[in-house]
Amino acid sequence: MRSLQKILNFKPNIIYPAHGNVIEQPVDKIQYYIDHRNQREEQIIDFFRRNPNKQLQAMDVVHDVYKQTPENLWLAAAHNVGHHLEKLNHEGKLKILTKNDEKYYEYENRGGS
């Protein structure tokens, strides 16, 4: 996200990526990516708020947040969710528990938000 924000701050007119097509209106595209990532993160936080004090894995989130996504894309979605979960843990919004070498995440309902 920081990288996207840095690029956005330059207000580029065109971007020539290392792979893929030239992006001719990059400010709009980058803002779309930032907004989409923020929206996804809100969906993830909402999922945990609806499931307080439960130990959940990335795939549990995928089954809820990505239910409209074809199942063959769920593994990739779980990878992306994992990045969000690590960020949320780093920010103190979720805690990580490890059981049998697998990561579980938990939202502790503290009576507030």
In this structure, what CATH number is given to the domain that contains residue 9?
A: 1.10.10.10
For range 48-60, the mean pLDDT: 96
Position 37 in a domain: yes
Position 98 in a domain: yes
User: What is the per-residue pLDDT across 70-94, written as a single tens digit (0 to 9) for each?
Assistant: 999 999 999 999 999 999 999 999 9
Position 39 in a domain: yes
Q: Which structural domain range is residue 82 located in?
A: 2-106
User: What is the per-residue pLDDT across 5-16, written as a single tens digit (0 to 9) for each?
Assistant: 999 999 999 999
Position 60 in a domain: yes
Position 111 in a domain: no
Distance of CA 96 to the CA centre of its chain: 16
Position 88 in a domain: yes
Q: Is the pLDDT of residue 112 over 60?
A: no
Strands 102-106 and 95-99: antiparallel
Q: What's the mean pLDDT when you consider all of the chain? A: 94
Rounded Cα–Cα distance for residues 62 and 101 (Å): 20
Confidence at residue 35, expressed as pLDDT on a 0 to 100 scale: 97
For the chain, how many structural domains are there in total? 1
* Per-residue pLDDT band at 61 (split at 50, 70, 90): very high
Confidence at residue 30, expressed as pLDDT on a 0 to 100 scale: 95
Position 17 in a domain: yes
Position 112 in a domain: no
